[in-house]
Amino acid sequence: LKQRWRALQHITLSPSRIGDIARAALVLNKIWK
């Protein structure tokens, strides 16, 4: 989980992307669970 979160944090360097990545993270979370 922490590794995944770190990867996401690396991707979220640009503020404009945070919304899209947050959605992607939620979708992936549902798939992985």
Per-residue pLDDT tens over the stretch 1-33: 677 777 777 665 666 677 787 888 899 889 877
> Which pLDDT does position 3 carry in this prediction?
76
- Taking alpha carbons only, the member of 32, 20, 16 closest to residue 3 is 32
* Range list of H helices, the chain: 2-11, 18-32
> Which pLDDT does position 20 carry in this prediction?
81
Tokens matching residue 8: 């996401």
Range of the domain at 9: 1-32
pTM, two decimals, is 0.42
